[in-house]
Amino acid sequence: MRAEALTLGFAAVGVARADAAPLAGERLRQWLGEGAHGEMIWMEERAGERATPAGLWPDVRSVIALGMSYAPGRDPLAPAGDGDRGRISVYAQGGDYHDVVKRTLKALARWIVAEAPGSDLKVFVDTAPVMEKPLAEAAGLGWQGKHTNLVSRDHGSWLFLGAIYTTLDLAPSVAGSDACGSCDACQRACPTDAFPEPYRLDARRCISYLTIEHKGPVPEEFRAALGNRIYGCDDCLAVCPWNKFAEAAAANRAFLPRAELTAPRLADLLALDDAAFRQVFAGSPIKRIGRDRMVRNAAYAAGNSGDEGLAPLLDALRNDPSQVVRDAAGWALARLFPATAPR
């Protein structure tokens, strides 16, 4: 199976028993109880299914954890151009990983069924109530680092995770072991102090959450810290020393960055209407946040840019149908021209 998975395009594969991560559900319940998930109500609603594989599918016996590399060929924290440009997280600069990973999971699933007739299985990537990271750790793909994401000795922090639940009793892999040591680079790198302690994330302070999942106005205390990040944030991942072992050549070519998404002009983003948004971000995971959230994020970035030339576009957005866009545009103008801001 490993050879077939690698042939199909996965970079890492391992197997865990369905009950191999018993503490994951307990940590999830504690995290939800603290409200650290913010507005991600869907995590609450299906917490019981998410807590254990059997909670989602009682017949599951083994979990095949898989990782697909999207290692960038450049420094993800390198300047994204001048102040008139936005920064998009590496994972979202290419093709939509949901489509690519799921398609490859299904191909591997067909191979497994052909090899083991009568077996049953289900494939998952990101959108289902599955604890991919602790299961990947149990299957030996790596370990959950202090930034709570999976870290691989071979692929660093740059893996998209998928899982296949199966009724087969498969020999489990050796589980991953923590190798963060005394390093706290990811904790120190976070612009909004989203880690109350190592191995714990408060999503309500996380730039990825704020620019993608959070629907309303971003709390003012975080707006300056957003900088020019308009979709996601790579800071805690990019500084991980284990990334020096990740090879960009191992990355799936479907995730090669699209030129228009590596450093988009803020002026172009501020001018987007719904139709233009759908056209620009077709085939990208960015399409899920919709036009209003993207323009909101671009407005915050414009306010942080120091580029007064963006003022006419921001002024026009003060009459936008979306209240969240109007609010962001007003804030951005006040930041660019503090002397004229209402007091």
Q: Residue 12: left (phi > 0), alpha (psi -120 to 50), or beta?
A: beta
Tokens of 310: 């963006």
CA distance 52 to 29: 12
Tokens of 265: 């002009």
* Strands across the sheet containing 62-69: 12-17, 62-69, 159-166, 121-124
Measured over the CA atoms of residue 133, residue 138, residue 139 and residue 142, the dihedral's sign is: positive
Residue 3 CA from chain centroid, whole number? 27
CA distance 260 to 257: 8
Q: How many CB atoms lie within 10 A of CB 83?
A: 17
Q: Name the catalytic one among 126, 154, 268, 307.
A: 126
- Which residue has tokens 């904790």? 187
Sequence-distant (6+) residues with CB within 8 A of 207 are 191, 192, 194, 222, 225, 226, 229, 232, 233, 235
Element (H, E) at 89: none
Rounded to whole angstroms, what are the CA distances from 130 to 10, 49, 58, 65, 257?
A: 19, 8, 13, 11, 28
Question: Is residue 75 among the annotated active site residues?
Answer: no
Going by C-alpha positions, the residue among 47, 53, 49, 56 that lies closest to residue 16 is 53
Tally of helices (H runs) and strands (E runs) in the chain: 17, 8
**Residues carrying an active site annotation:** 126
